[in-house]
Amino acid sequence: MFKCCQPLNRVRYSGWPYIQKPNSEFAAMAAICRQQIFSSQGEGQGRGNAGVVQMKFLWAVSMCCALLCIQNFPQRINAEPVLASSLGFCKTVPVLRGAPLHCCLPPPARKPIRFKFPTCANGGPPVMRERRPAHVVQNDPEYVRKYNLAYARMKALPDSDPRSFLNQWRVHCSFCNEAFKQRETPGPLGKATGVLLQVHYSWTFLPWHRMYLYYHERILADLIGDPTFALPFWNWDNQLDPIASMMPFMFLPNFPVNNSALLDVNRNADHMPPKILYLGYNGKLEAEGKLNLTDEQIRYENLCVMYNQVATKISARSFLGGPYVVGTDNTAASVNVSAGETPGESGGMEIVHNVAHEWTGLINDPAHPDNEDMGNFIYAARDPIFYSHHSNVDRLWDVWKTIPDKVTIAGNRKRVDYTSNDFLDSEFTFFDENQDMVVVKIRDSLDSAKLGYKYTDVSEADNLWINYEPLPPHKPSQPWKPSDWPAVVPSGNNTIGKVPASFKLERRAPTKKDLKGKGLKHTNQLQEDILLEKVRIPHSAYARFDVFINFPEANRETHLYMSEYVGTFTHLPSGMVDMSSSVSQSSVTESNGKFRFFNIRYSAGQALRRLGIADWNTDVVVTIVSKGVRKTNPTIDFYFSNIKQDFQ
């Protein structure tokens, strides 16, 4: 146990479900109320003003009571945040090979506690942990020994211990694969809904994984008695250092320092150094021998992907993902839009992070149809490299907030997280280094400095993709116009097939109506997007869609480092109900497969300006290139309900 920098979260709930403790907003409101009341009492002199004073006093008391109740009511009016806990209902997770997996977590030995930010025993700020690049710290033998020792001790813990490596894997396996149900009321034993929980495909993705890493790191540090210990980050977006985007050497066999606890047998042997992670990776093309890019081309495409998936995503929705409120089930064929429900909507960061999962796992290996470990959300956290990968994902959330606005016409928009209570009050449980179950809200996760850690500055490498400039627009082989291609049929079975699909997209200028609920003052601060609505994808399917504007000639082998490319969507299997067709992606039908429904968002404003399209009334052609990522040719099509222009 640490002597310093323990989180002061020892106050336990008086019951399950808990009574929420007053927060800083409550205290501030109380102070204002006291000031109002006492100023009312002091107004007026003499008996003639007594009635007026009394009425003002009663008015102030009534208003303050109402405000205090609204401020401190756990389930705020008109707010439906997702509430989740590992207690209560838990189902097994089906896989292709073997029996369904038990991913349920042990019950806590004590009553859950509410999260508090870390601080030293004297009340001062905590010691700041520094997460450093993996390709740098692997040159520090002392660090590698500590890192390996921490995982060795974690793996030696009994299965009944929630800190054990087995249970750390189960945290991800369960929360990310619909083992639990959403809850209607706060607290670890709040009433459960009938809807399964999924922390991917929405605004919960980054905050949940941040707190998962936060406690995982604290457990490792506690096991070796070093409160300064921090996870490394696999700096795979770094195209400046020649080895940064390679699989870090300290996770591989034959490393000069003992690293046995950092190894995992289920990694792609074809992607070991000197291979660099390719963010435009397509396993199907690789299996066909058609993925023949030089390292220089890969690095340039990597810059392009990072630019389109992070730098061009200025709204919280486009970067973090879409809303996720209680009752939302993105496996349902229809959602209640009027109640705030949406299909799954992954943000740009989640989408690009999927590629590193896919690239590291055993894709195209018939002996491993589940693409374990990293290539499948069910197994991913069994590989220690997972936590280093997600450390970089978490770092990029911090970086995103600092990127200047080169996206909107105004050029002065700040990148900020969601501010709605549905987002801020979403709630999850984790086990800490003391084996206590801690209840955490998303609002607790938004500032990494307050959580007591920071990242080594690698801004020189970051700036390469932040300031990326694609190649000039291509010249068409023959003249064409947008009306040469069909528009989609709204709510119809529009197809994304094995052959690239092109559609005409009608555009318009943004109006004040588009500003509603976005916290912006002017329409020129809006980000123009292309939105694919209700794309239907089987749980078990691997999918990748690359999208181009005004380039109907695009195909599976088209390079991404071009002005017409606007982004990528990727989907990895998770929470499968039926894995029977996971390998070949054939025979997945409505009768034997279960589907997810997604909205897929591509930021298009900058690309349109690069293409010289300044008139809002100019229609464009959107080309969707579906790339199978498995060795076997896919025989299924994907369907979507609509494609439209959207403003965020």
Q: For residue 536, what are its two tokens?
A: 């239907």
The share of the chain scoring above pLDDT 70, in percent, equals: 81
Q: Who has greater pLDDT, 16 or 528? A: 528
Position 308 pLDDT exceeds 60: yes
- Tell me, yes or no, if 353 is annotated catalytic: yes
Neighbours of 412 (CB within 10 A): 11
Confidence band of 181 (pLDDT split at 50, 70, 90): very high
Residues 6+ apart with CB under 8 A from 279: 236, 237, 301, 302, 305, 306, 352, 355, 356
Residue of 135, 200, 271, 368 marked active site: 200
Residue of 135, 368, 390, 571 marked active site: 390
| Per-residue confidence (pLDDT) for residue 287, from 0 to 100 | 85
Spatial contact of 478 and 461, defined as CB atoms under 8 Å apart: no
| Per-residue confidence (pLDDT) for residue 343, from 0 to 100 | 81
Residue of 2, 135, 165, 209 marked active site: 209
| Residue keyed to tokens 């001062």 | 124
**Segment 100-158, tens digit of pLDDT:** 899 999 999 999 999 999 988 777 778 899 999 999 999 999 999 999 999 999 999 99
- Tell me, yes or no, if 357 is annotated catalytic: yes
Residues 6+ apart with CB under 8 A from 190: 17, 83, 85, 183, 184
Q: Where are the domains of the chain?
A: 83-466, 482-582+589-647
- Tell me, yes or no, if 539 is annotated catalytic: no
Top-confidence range, 31-45, 202-216, 569-583, 617-631: 202-216
- Tell me, yes or no, if 368 is annotated catalytic: no
Pick the CATH number of 482-582+589-647 from 3.40.1000, 2.60.120, 2.60.40, 2.40.50: 2.60.120
Neighbours of 118 (CB within 10 A): 23
The share of the chain scoring above pLDDT 90, in percent, equals: 64
Lowest-confidence pick of 50-59, 251-260, 478-487, 592-601 = 50-59
Q: Who has greater pLDDT, 541 or 242? A: 242
- Tell me, yes or no, if 233 is annotated catalytic: no
Spatial contact of 547 and 568, defined as CB atoms under 8 Å apart: yes
**Segment 376-402, tens digit of pLDDT:** 899 999 999 999 999 999 999 999 999
Mean pLDDT of the chain: 84
Mean pLDDT of 405-427: 97
pTM (two decimals) = 0.87
- Tell me, yes or no, if 430 is annotated catalytic: no
**Segment 64-106, tens digit of pLDDT:** 444 444 344 333 334 589 998 898 899 998 887 778 899 999 9
Confidence band of 579 (pLDDT split at 50, 70, 90): very low
| Per-residue confidence (pLDDT) for residue 224, from 0 to 100 | 98
3-state secondary structure of 93: strand
Residue of 165, 251, 377, 551 marked active site: 377
| Per-residue confidence (pLDDT) for residue 278, from 0 to 100 | 97
Q: Which of 422, 433, 434 is nearest to 517 (CA)?
A: 422
| Per-residue confidence (pLDDT) for residue 194, from 0 to 100 | 85
Confidence band of 49 (pLDDT split at 50, 70, 90): very low
Same fold, 83-466 and 482-582+589-647: no
| Per-residue confidence (pLDDT) for residue 588, from 0 to 100 | 31
| Per-residue confidence (pLDDT) for residue 338, from 0 to 100 | 57
Whether CATH 1.10.3720.10 fits 83-466: no
Mean pLDDT of 153-166: 98
- Tell me, yes or no, if 571 is annotated catalytic: no
Residue of 135, 216, 271, 353 marked active site: 353
Q: For residue 24, what are its two tokens?
A: 């800083």
Position 496 pLDDT exceeds 60: yes
3-state secondary structure of 444: helix
Position 370 pLDDT exceeds 90: no
| Per-residue confidence (pLDDT) for residue 79, from 0 to 100 | 57
Greatest Cα pair distance, the chain, in angstroms, is 95
Q: What span, in angstroms and rounded, lies between the C-alpha atoms of 543 and 44? A: 73
Residue of 357, 389, 539, 571 marked active site: 357
Q: For residue 299, what are its two tokens?
A: 């690095």
Q: Which of 304, 237, 276 is nearest to 559 (CA)?
A: 304
